[in-house]
A and B are shown apart, each in its own frame.
Chain A
Amino acid sequence: MAVIHDVMPAFLLFQPGSLAEARKLVVEHGQDGWILAGGLDSFDWLKDRMRKPKAVIDLSGVSELKGVRTTSDGIEIGAMTTLTDVATHPLIRQTYRLLADAAEAVASPQIRNQATLGGNVSQDARCWYYRAGWPCYRAGGNVCYADTPDGRNREHAILHAERCVAVNPSDTAPALIALDAKFVLQTAGGERVVDAEDYFVGPDIDITRLHILRPGDLLSSIRIPAAWAGAQFHFEKVRDRQVWDFPLLNVASAMTVSRDRIERIRIAVNAAAARPLRLASVERAVTGKPANAATAEMAGNLAVQGAVPLQFNGYKVPLMRNLVKRAISGGEEATWTSYSGQ
């Protein structure tokens, strides 16, 4: 069980000064290595002694992993760019405001000053049974303590739960999916670029990870294509404490509207499942439809198809329905409907 030592176990600390050096160290230490980005998630694990890596590779000194660069097709953001820098960057605010809004919704200003974009999308699940060191599925065991009649599962999954019901807590992940971002990975086999939605995995595929990074892999940057630049964006996050909390649910959408009809749309939610969910069926259903309350209503209902609430998180079904509605028609137009148990 978790015992708060507040003193980290001993490890070798590496502070590479270049991406090449970082890649070499990450490959060299593989399973025994721990990649340290902003440290917000890492220090929890290390101080609680739930993770005892032999080597910690601190990427804070790798300048190539920081900053926002323009490319021939959009922008590229280094994985070590802080969330504050993402949220305040003029180009992102002007052209890809969805990401700026999502980054600004993360935690507190102090945390955003330290937390990185790469760390935010790669952070681990917040399920307290898992974080406390209980031998649950995600920890390699054979039980989910949250998915029991008395389990504390108010924050857990309503969709795609497969044995484990933990959710992905990232705020920037759904925004990046909505923007059709590409994640650039450095692997032992070379550089690999994956779609944002393919960066994340659910428990049906791998119950012990939230993303596809394997030991020896490194997320180096995130590319956002120009395809959605300046589109109509909507990001909304619902949390228990407005000042600083993980999402109970969030939604991000990028949409272009032509003559009052939805021309193109990408929409994603997070904290509903173990990975951020792109709502492809909703996208298909609303494309070509008027951007009005009726379409939004239909989209909301479609979004929660197949939802299976747990003992204490039934509220997430209407919450998700309404967030999707608001994403389609704008926050002002949708009306909240109460949970009917469906």
Chain B
Amino acid sequence: MDVLQWAIDPWGHRVPIHIAWFLIEVAFVSAVAFLIVHAAYIRFFAREKQWSGTTAPDVVAAIPERVPRHSLVARAFHWLMAASMLTLLFTAFLPKVGVEFDWVTFHWIAGTVLAASVVFHIIHASFWLDFWAIWPDKTDIVDAIRRLRRFFGQAVPAPRRFAKYPLENKGFHGAIIAAGLAVIATGVFMMFRVRTIFFPRNPYLFTDVTWGWMYVLHGLAGVGLIALVIIHVYFGLRPEKRPITKSMIFGWMSRDFVLKEHDPARWIVTPAAVHPAREEEALRDAS
């Protein structure tokens, strides 16, 4: 079974034209299978989370009851991106599974919104947010290894609590970046193939082979996003993740949840004055 569809171009060359559409079903089924397995694991096998380290009473006292997590601008970006992403997925794949409608115009408009919002996000995150907060650091890796070893029953210290974002969040963000940038970059060029308000049509911008691989990459990233979005929505709805989901709506987390899962030494939410002592204490606990 070929995962790509090929054709012979007018010059007799064998060129890829797009992905095989059964990959839509593969992505959907894979994502649903993942969430079934995950839900079963959490329900029947998962043990209660254990963390190392404590937080000093003065640090706890300094943490507000509602801990700001996402600014209004960041939340607006997230939901705008979510709306455009869902529009893109529905307009791209519903016609392929038999729901026919005039999808192209909605698709490129939603793609334009997504591209513009991502450009904004990159600038906003680079200059107004803590850019590195979403990228895995050494502590994340060490703790991930600890969690894995503990899962297999080895006697290793408990992992530390998370920084602002759990490693899983960071990994998901990385996957979204890869898939999102792939669909945006290829999608912008593909807009040269249809009539839009931005560029005059120019199907000769690239060779047939280059266009073909561009369509393939766009398709692969697209079906990847089907799985990623399903998994993202699933985690957003899980009871233990609801404080994270609510923070994307209201902008804050409760102090209790922050202290339970997040390490104030790694996610600075208190006045700077209390940090040095707290960081020393956290490092001592972690070692």
Q: Which residues of A contact B (CB under 8 A)?
A: 1, 134-135, 139-145, 147-148, 161-163, 201, 204-206, 308
With CB as the reference atom, state the residue of chain B lying closest to A129. B10
Residues on A with beta carbons closer than 8 Å to the beta carbon of B208: 143
Determine whether the beta carbon of A142 is less than 8 Å from that of B18: yes
**A131 CB to closest chain B CB, in angstroms?**
13
Determine whether the beta carbon of B201 is less than 8 Å from that of A147: yes
**B197 CB to closest chain A CB, in angstroms?**
13
User: Most chain-B Cβ atoms within 10 A of its Cβ — which of A143, A163, A204?
Assistant: A143
In angstroms, Cα B215 to Cα A308, docked, is 26
Determine whether the beta carbon of B101 is less than 8 Å from that of A205: yes
In angstroms, Cα B9 to Cα A1, docked, is 8
With CB as the reference atom, state the residue of chain A lying closest to B9. A135
With CB as the reference atom, state the residue of chain A lying closest to B101. A205
In angstroms, Cα B215 to Cα A206, docked, is 18
Determine whether the beta carbon of A142 is less than 8 Å from that of B17: yes
Determine whether the beta carbon of A142 is less than 8 Å from that of B211: yes
In angstroms, Cα B203 to Cα A261, docked, is 49
A–B pairs, 22, beta carbons within 8 Å: A1-B12, A134-B10, A135-B7, A135-B15, A135-B17, A139-B7, A140-B5, A140-B7, A141-B7, A141-B17, A142-B18, A142-B211, A143-B203, A143-B211, A147-B201, A148-B203, A162-B102, A163-B193, A204-B104, A205-B100, A205-B101, A206-B100
Residues of B175-225 whose CB lies within 8 A of A: 193-195, 201, 203-204, 208, 211-212, 215
B156 at the A interface (CB under 8 A) = no
Q: Which residues of B contact A (CB under 8 A)?
A: 5, 7-10, 12, 15, 17-18, 95, 100-105, 193-195, 201, 203-204, 208, 211-212, 215
Chain A at the B interface: SS class: loop
With CB as the reference atom, state the residue of chain A lying closest to B216. A142
With CB as the reference atom, state the residue of chain B lying closest to A141. B17
Determine whether the beta carbon of B215 is less than 8 Å from that of A142: yes
Determine whether the beta carbon of B203 is less than 8 Å from that of A144: yes
Residues on A with beta carbons closer than 8 Å to the beta carbon of B193: 142-143, 163
- Given the contacts A143-B203, A205-B101, A163 and B5 also touching, CB distance less than 8 Å: no
In angstroms, Cα B200 to Cα A308, docked, is 13
With CB as the reference atom, state the residue of chain B lying closest to A205. B100
In angstroms, Cα B204 to Cα A145, docked, is 10
Residues on B with beta carbons closer than 8 Å to the beta carbon of A163: 104, 193-194
In angstroms, Cα B215 to Cα A163, docked, is 15
In angstroms, Cα B15 to Cα A162, docked, is 23
**B14 CB to closest chain A CB, in angstroms?**
10
Determine whether the beta carbon of A204 is less than 8 Å from that of B102: yes
In angstroms, Cα B134 to Cα A254, docked, is 66
Beyond known contacts A135-B7, A139-B7, A204-B104: 6 more, CB 8 A cutoff: A135-B15, A142-B17, A142-B212, A143-B208, A147-B201, A162-B194
In angstroms, Cα B102 to Cα A201, docked, is 10
Determine whether the beta carbon of B17 is less than 8 Å from that of A1: no
With CB as the reference atom, state the residue of chain B lying closest to A145. B10
Determine whether the beta carbon of A201 is less than 8 Å from that of B100: yes
The 8 closest A-B pairs by CB, nearest first: A135-B7, A204-B102, A141-B17, A205-B100, A142-B215, A142-B17, A143-B203, A141-B7
In angstroms, Cα B17 to Cα A162, docked, is 18
User: Most chain-B Cβ atoms within 10 A of its Cβ — which of A141, A161, A308?
Assistant: A141
With CB as the reference atom, state the residue of chain B lying closest to A132. B10
With CB as the reference atom, state the residue of chain B lying closest to A148. B203
In angstroms, Cα B15 to Cα A24, docked, is 38
With CB as the reference atom, state the residue of chain A lying closest to B102. A204
- Given the contacts A135-B9, A135-B15, A141-B17, A162 and B203 also touching, CB distance less than 8 Å: no
Residues on B with beta carbons closer than 8 Å to the beta carbon of A141: 7, 17
In angstroms, Cα B102 to Cα A161, docked, is 12
With CB as the reference atom, state the residue of chain B lying closest to A137. B193
**A67 CB to closest chain B CB, in angstroms?**
33
**B279 CB to closest chain A CB, in angstroms?**
55
Residues on A with beta carbons closer than 8 Å to the beta carbon of B100: 201, 205-206
**A147 CB to closest chain B CB, in angstroms?**
7
